[in-house]
Structure formats: C-alpha cells, structure tokens
Chain A
Amino acid sequence: MYVTLRDRPGGTSGRKRPGGPLRRVSGTVVLLGTVSLLTDVSSEMVASVLPLYLTAVVGLSPVAYGFLDGVYQGASALVRIAGGYAGDRGQRPKWVAAIGYGVSALSRLAMLPAAGFAAITAVVTADRLGKGLRTAPRDALIAAASRPELLGRAFGVHRALDTLGAAAGPLVAFALLASLPGSYDSVFVVSFAFAVAGVAVLVLLVPDLPSVPGAVRAGVRRAVAQVAGTRLRRPLLAATLLGLVTVGDGFLYLALQDRDDFAARWFPLLYVGTNVAYLVLAVPLGRLADRVGRGRVLVAGHLALLGGYLLAALPGGGVGLTVAVLLLLGAFYAATDGVLAALVSRLVPADSRGSGIAAAQTAVVLARFASSVLFGLAWHVQGPRPALLLFAVLLAGAVPVAAWLLRGVDRPAVAAGDEGVAA
C-alpha cells in the first residue's frame, strides 16, 4: 500500500493529475519511455555499424575513429545544462526535448550524403548535441508526471525501455545488413524512420507541463540559487566525488579483453551483456530505491562497481568472471542512472527541476570525464591491473564519504506523510 498524499518540495503543488493513485507509473512515463526506446533503436543502429562503416566503407583508419569517438563523448556535456535550464525557463521542457530528439533524427538523414571525415564528425556531433539537449528536460517531465514516492520506479521503467531500445538497435541494423549486404544507406534510412516515430510520439502524445496561471518564469538567478542551494549541495558533491572514481566501462572492457580470450573474442558483445543486466535490474532497483531510500541504493550501486573493479583486476580470466563483471556493471547503472535523477528531482522545486537534474548529470559527466583522463594516465604508467586496484581503493574511500553526504537525503523537509513509505 502506498500513500496518496502528494509531497511537493518547495510547495509548488497545485497540479493534480486524474487517476494518480491508480496508476503505479504514469502514462506519460511509459510514453516517454517509448520515445526513448524508438530513439535508442535509431541511435544504436547507427552507433553499432559506425565502426564498420567508417573503417570498411569510408576507409578511415583506427586513429581517425578514435578521434571521432572522443567527439562523441565530449559534445553532450556542454548543452546539457542549457537544455535543463531552457526547459525550466520556458516551462516547456517537452519542446526543448523535442528539439533535441529532432536534431538527432535529422542527423541520421545527414549520414546519407556525408562521406568525408569532417562531414561525419559534424553529423555525429549534432546527434550528441541533441542527446545532451533533451536528457534533462525529459527527466524533468518524468519527475513532473510521477508521484514523488514512486519516482525511483518511474525512472526505472523509463531506463528499462530506453535500454531495451539500445539492445534492439544493433539487432535491427545487423539484420538489415545481412539481407542487404553493404547497404549502409538502408541502415541510416530505417534508423531515421525510428527516430521520426519517436519524435512523433513525443510531440503528439506526451503532455507538456500544464501551465500554471500567474507562475513566475524561473530566471537564471533562481535556477542558480536552487542548484547551488543547500538541498542540492550535498547530493551534487556526492555525485561528483563518486563520478571522479568511476572508470568508464570502455576501460573495463579493455581490461577484460586484455586478460582473457573469451572477452577478446566477444568484445563487441560485452556492452550488450551490461545492457541486458541494466535492463533487467532497472525497475527492481528503482522500486527498491523508493522503499529503502534513493541515496542508499545509489551508494550500494557503487559497491557493485567496486566489485566489478576487483573482479576485473584479478589475474586470471574466464567466462564466469567476465560475465560477473558485466552483471555488476549493469547493476551499477541500474542503481545509479535513473536513481540519481529521481533523487535530485525531489530536492528542487518543480520550476527548477530541469536545471537541477541537468546540474547533477553534468557533474557526473564532467567528473567521469576527469576520471577517464586520470585512469588513462594510471593505465599508461602502470598498466590495467594496478590502475584498477588504485581506483578500487579510491572508490572504497569515496563510498563512505558519499554515504555520509547523502544521509537523510530521502527525507526532505517538506515531506508530508512520506515517512510511512520510507519505513
């Protein structure tokens, strides 16, 4: 049984959605999950064939591809904050998200004539910018459409649908290539169709925030005040600290393939394994977060990551260990990605929600970027195993600090009747 009382941090309640208590997860969340599913089918179709396309068809060398992948990762962090703030500012997060999805969709079509390195870089960058732009306003919509005590579950459902799309994309792409050898254009066109379907579902079916008569538009100052305010300070610090000791999964896969033949042979499948674990665990861990506290689950997720480091650093290899590392990685993502958004969205008032979520996600992205550089250096100097052990020690030190920073975070001051849920 769960409590029907609404708790709106900052006291901006006043919106009631009909049928709330009867739905465990709102239709909007499922629709947004569907949008993400379709979009991820689209983007993973392209992402999975891109290495082959670039090296086998366009004829780029490995060096150039590595450069491209860097562009991929870097581009989205910048626009994330802008997207979150723009969604809050106009009180129209849906349309900011729609622009983000639309830009990514158009970038698929631009793959058709793009032949040179520069053109493909531009297209890939546009795709990533779109992704950066849409994430925070979309998460703000999920938060707005969900009852606070069920936020973890709502984000879990969304992330599970999202990951399902990510898993299906490569299958669609390879099925196409298998029946139409060498026709990468078909992959791009079908990918575009999926993206268009996603944008259409978003634009036509997903409701935007209902306008609040007389509501003051959130200015920069208010957004900054909220984001830098006392409520978010500790979670942001904790997220940054944990991000600084989080090694990118690419490095973990490399460490795995470095030590055992199984991982090397099935290298392209390692991330699929992680995704499957993430997919299966996203909803259960989201629900768990609603029950025992999001801060706790977030911290526990990092313990799973710690386990992953240690197993990946073991000298011997083997199928069992590799699969265990993938499971732990999947559990880590399931316990952190949506859970962080759920946690943050309850700590800021609704009119700054996008900015708050964007701030947390950007902190994580930037911290992980820094950690990747540091880990790369450590790997450089000492090799994979000592580098992993070093980061395991750092992570083991960071987890108690983060737990301390996040203590009590699941009981915001305004909580009315929330205690019954948390117990």
Chain B
Amino acid sequence: MTGRVGGLGPRARLGVLAVVLLVATVGAGGFVWRVHREQAAVRTSATGAPTRRNLAGVRDVPHLVFRNTALGTDYGRVALVPLSAPDGPRAVTPASCERVHATRDEALCLASDRGLVTTYRAQVLDAEWAPRRDLPLVGTPSRARLSRDGSLAATTTFVFGDSYANPGQFSTRTTVSRVDGEVVGDLEQFTLVVGGKVVTAVDRNLWGVTFADDDRFYATAASGGRTWLVEGSLTTRRLTALREDAECPSLSPDGTRIAFKKHGDLPPGRWRLAVYDLATGAETLLAETRSVDDQAEWLDDGHVVYGLPRSEEGTATSDIWMTNADGSGAPTLLVPDAWSPSVVFPGGR
C-alpha cells in the first residue's frame, strides 16, 4: 500500500511502531503506577503533616482555618491550627473544600466534584463541620467569604469557556446569600458606577467580596481590561468605584484599611500585595515581592496572611505566609501545606 518510509519495509515499521507503543504505554503506566504508590505510601505512613485529635480544643482558642494541602488522606480537608502554634500539629475536620472561609459558628465551603460531569457545590457547614445548607454555585470555586457575624456569604466562581477568539474574555459569577439560603443578589446585576458614570458594559465582572457590615461590602469590579475596588450596598444594589487596579479586597478588622492585590505594570497574571487606607487613599506596597493571587486575610490589625503556591517541586501544594500590613519586615512562613486561610477569634477580636 505504501512506499518505503525511512528505508524500512512495512514489517519493520510495524515492529518499530509496536516498540514505540510499548515504550509509551510502559512509560506512562509506570509513571502513573509510581504516583499511585507514592500516594499510597504517603497515606500509610501517617500523613504529610502532623495532626492532632482535639478538634474542639482548637476551636475554643484563636485559630486559623484553612485547606490542608499536605499530601495524604487528609489532602483537601479543612484543618485548624491554634494561632499560638501555627506550624505545629493541625486538627483535621471531615469537610473537604477547595476554598473555605470560617467564623466562630460556621464555615462556607466551596468544592467541585470532578468527574465526567464536574459539579460544584457551596455549602454552609455547622460547628460540627456537617453541611447545613446548600447555596447556589456554578463554576470553578474561586473565592469564599462570610461576613463577620456569619450571616452573609459571598461566593465567586469562574464560569469559563467564553473566550473563543476573544482575548481577555472570561466570566465570573459572584453571589451574595444569607446563610439561611436566601439569595440576596448576583453582583453583576447591581448598578456599577465608575467616576460618576454608570457602567453598562456587558463584560462587567465582579469578584472577591469582603463584608464591612450587614449591608456594606467591598469587591473587585472589572470591565474592558480594567479593574476597580468598589464599595457596594446590598440595599441600594449599587457599586461605587473607589480606585482603579485593585483586586480581591480584604477589610482589616478595624475597618480602616483594605489589603488587595495590584497588577500595576507587572507581566500578565502577576500581582503585588498592597494595603489601601480608606480614609487617606494612601497605598502601601507590602514586603511580599512574589506574585500573590489570593484574597488576603487579616491576622490582626498589623498582619495579613495569604496563600502562595510552592514553586519548587511542581505546584502540587501551597503554603500560608504572613507579612506586616505596613510594608515593613519580610514575609514569614506561617503554615506549611495550607491554602485559603481564615482567622477565627472565638471570643471576638
């Protein structure tokens, strides 16, 4: 049927093909088998990070709630460490979340069940980490936030697939709900005001909510390749831009400053952590020079914490880092093998 290829006859070519297929199969199969063995080994040799049993004990003291990314059976589970010993043993809960935010009494958990049909869920978890209520969720989990008193929940997900031949097109969906399940609103339906003008562009996107009180909140708005820090009100359903180039805001415990990530003139997909003073409008770049793509959380009025993917050995895991909110000092590793931090003071701040 064919001419000679590379001087080989048909039989020889079939032979070479068989060898190539064999090598490919054995190579890929061997790699998968090795990963499988490694994961099994990690599972059996305890877990990747030391754990503690007394979950309730941690819950009673000031603590950090996060997604455990230490390889092992507890990978992806929500875990807790006391603020007094953040790099010590962690207490692992039964809940698995990709993004989690917690208050004293409950937690907001975003997860996707991957499979032939990937489905997504947003759940309010009770004090025992059991699902109490499902909230609507569409798309890949991105950000989760509860209001300080735990009555409001905001979720941001990423509905992808809309970028056909259209650079810069993407779609997020940010929904605010009461934790009793009542949907307050899809922020994209709110009125967006930038520089006194209403922005009606359909490519508006909203993400990264942080609540100030039962009505006011801050978030990121984007349209036409620009982003703004916006202040919003749930009652007036209005978003007002405060400044440009600010994403994923996080309000400080004293309510005076906002930590955010700023794109500036960095290459695409890179951000710098900064703090914005709501009263003066002053911006302070923080000491963290690595690119942070996370919604930061305030440890106290002087420190912010945030997740960073670990750059060496691939990107399978991430760590939670801490840096001073006034731009001084150097970042320190707070919790290894962790992601999506929230700080909880059981007795109030």
Contacts and interface: CB of A to CB of B under 8 A. Distances in A.
B333 interface: no
B115 to A, nearest CB: 6
A372 B158 contact: no
A70 B161 contact: no
B169 A183 contact: no
B13 A52 contact: no
Given A56-B98, A174-B115, A254-B162, A64 B20 contact: no
A190 interface: yes
A369 to B, nearest CB: 4
A121 to B, nearest CB: 8
Most interface-central of A27, A74, A176, A250 (chain B CB within 10 A): A250
Given A52-B112, A58-B315, A189 B167 contact: no
B341 interface: no
Given A55-B142, A112-B314, A383-B202, A200 B21 contact: yes
A271 B160 CA distance: 12
A208 B3 contact: yes
Contact of B5 (A204, A372, A376): A204
B282 interface: no
Contact of B28 (A18, A56, A193, A204): A193
B162 A115 contact: no
A180 B32 contact: yes
A147 to B, nearest CB: 15
A207 to B, nearest CB: 3
B320 to A, nearest CB: 13
A66 interface: yes
A117 B270 CA distance: 8
Given A52-B114, A58-B315, A268-B118, A253 B166 contact: no
Contact of A174 (B31, B118, B141, B247): B118
B279 interface: no
Interface in A37-82: 51-52, 55-74
B181 to A, nearest CB: 16
Contact of B316 (A182, A203, A257, A265): A182
Interface residues of B, number: 74
Given A18-B1, A55-B142, A189-B32, A65 B158 contact: yes
Interface in A190-224: 190, 192-194, 196-197, 200-201, 203-208, 210
Given A62-B158, A62-B205, A70-B166, A192 B268 contact: no
* Consensus secondary structure, chain B interface: loop
B167 A204 contact: no
Nearest to B73: A181
Given A62-B142, A183-B39, A193 B27 contact: yes
28 contacts: A19-B1, A61-B293, A62-B160, A62-B170, A62-B205, A64-B268, A66-B163, A66-B167, A72-B163, A74-B165, A117-B267, A121-B269, A174-B114, A182-B75, A183-B35, A185-B31, A189-B31, A193-B25, A196-B24, A197-B21, A204-B17, A204-B20, A205-B14, A207-B3, A207-B5, A248-B165, A267-B138, A384-B202
Interface of A: 17-19, 27, 51-52, 55-74, 112-113, 115-118, 121, 170-171, 174, 176-186, 189-190, 192-194, 196-197, 200-201, 203-208, 210, 248-251, 253-254, 257, 264-271, 368-369, 372-373, 376, 379-381, 383-384
Interface of B: 1-3, 5, 8, 13-14, 16-17, 20-21, 24-25, 27-28, 31-32, 35-36, 39, 71, 75-76, 98, 112, 114-119, 138-142, 158-172, 201-203, 205, 207, 222, 227, 247-248, 267-270, 293-294, 307-309, 311, 314-316, 318
Given A18-B1, A207-B2, 14 more contacts: A51-B140, A56-B140, A59-B318, A61-B247, A65-B160, A69-B169, A190-B31, A201-B17, A204-B20, A208-B5, A248-B165, A249-B164, A264-B138, A268-B118
